[in-house]
């Protein structure tokens, strides 16, 4: 299936449809069997973010600074949430909340990591780190885990946005964490993979 530019977004597949973004600024919905386009949704900039699908909605970010919620059947926008800068991070959806980080730039007053109500698009809380967030979050046991280019892995309460702990590595964290059996696994630009309990 040909798009108008590069595809860095990882696809999500749900109910026989493949959803993915392109740097041509579109999110595409393509039939998984035939490769035929079902619909496409235009944003204001490149889509590096990989989409998340939950409850009939596809959630994704764009470098136009918006987090989008789009109906998976019609391709119609349900809501958009404005952040302060690019979204390269891919959202995670859990318990009716969408979690996503943003890419930061010097002089920004943005909060960098957001929890947004999945139905309404209203901000529930924002959490500020020391630098941009390319890492995509993982949600487990009531906590949201994500890395930042400030060299920390953060564990934040999923409901309140309060920091539970942070773990310092020797480099930027662009890797997305994985959680299993009470252990968080994440890579860092210092060349190490960490297991944190």
Residue 75, pLDDT score: 98
* Mean pLDDT confidence for 125-148: 94
**How far is it, in rounded angstroms, from Cα 102 to Cα 115?**
12
Q: Phi/psi class of residue 107: alpha, beta or left (left: φ > 0; alpha: ψ in -120 to 50)?
A: left
Residue 103, pLDDT score: 78
Residue 125, pLDDT score: 96
* Mean pLDDT confidence for 138-158: 97
Which position has the higher pLDDT, 65 or 103? 65
**Residue pLDDT, tens place only, 42-59:** 999 999 999 999 999 999
- Specify the pairing of strand 183-187 against strand 178-180: antiparallel
**Residue pLDDT, tens place only, 15-49:** 999 999 999 999 999 999 999 999 999 999 999 99
**How far is it, in rounded angstroms, from Cα 92 to Cα 193?**
22
Residue 92, pLDDT score: 97
| Sign of the dihedral through C-alpha 59, 62, 67, 69 | negative
Three-state helix/strand/coil letters over the chain: CCCCCCCCCCCEEECCEEEEECCCCEEEEEECCCCCEEEEEECCCCCCCCCEEECCEEEEECCCCEEEEEECCCCCEEEEEECCCCCCCCCEEECCEEEEECCCCCCCCCCCEEEEECCCCCEEEEECCCCCCCCCCEEECCEEEEECCCCEEEEEECCCCCEEEEEECCCCCCCCCEEECCEEEEECCCCCEEEEC
* Mean pLDDT confidence for 127-138: 91
**Residue pLDDT, tens place only, 90-115:** 999 999 999 999 876 655 556 689 99
Q: Pick the closest to residue 136 from 173, 104, 91 (CA basis).
A: 91
Which tokens belong to 77? 């926008």
* Mean pLDDT confidence for 60-89: 94
């Amino acid at each position: 299936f040909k798009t108008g530019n590069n595809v860095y977004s990882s696809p999500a597949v749900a109910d026989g449809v493949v959803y993915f973004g392109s740097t041509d600024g579109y999110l595409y919905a393509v039939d998984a069997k035939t490769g035929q386009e079902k619909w496409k949704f235009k944003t204001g900039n490149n889509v590096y973010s990989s989409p998340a699908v939950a409850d009939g909605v596809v959630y994704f970010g764009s470098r136009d600074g918006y987090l989008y919620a789009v109906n998976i059947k019609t391709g119609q926008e349900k809501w958009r949430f404005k952040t302060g800068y690019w979204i390269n991070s891919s959202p995670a959806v859990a318990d009716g909340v969408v979690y996503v980080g943003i890419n930061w730039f010097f002089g920004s007053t943005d909060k960098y990591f957001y929890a947004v109500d999945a139905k309404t698009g209203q901000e529930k809380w924002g959490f500020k780190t020391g630098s941009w967030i390319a890492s995509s979050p993982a949600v487990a046991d009531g906590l949201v885990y994500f890395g930042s280019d400030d060299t920390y892995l953060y564990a934040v309460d999923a409901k309140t946005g309060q920091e539970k702990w942070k773990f310092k590595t020797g480099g930027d964290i662009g890797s997305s964490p994985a959680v299993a059996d009470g252990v968080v696994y994440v890579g860092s630009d210092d060349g190490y993979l960490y297991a944190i309990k």
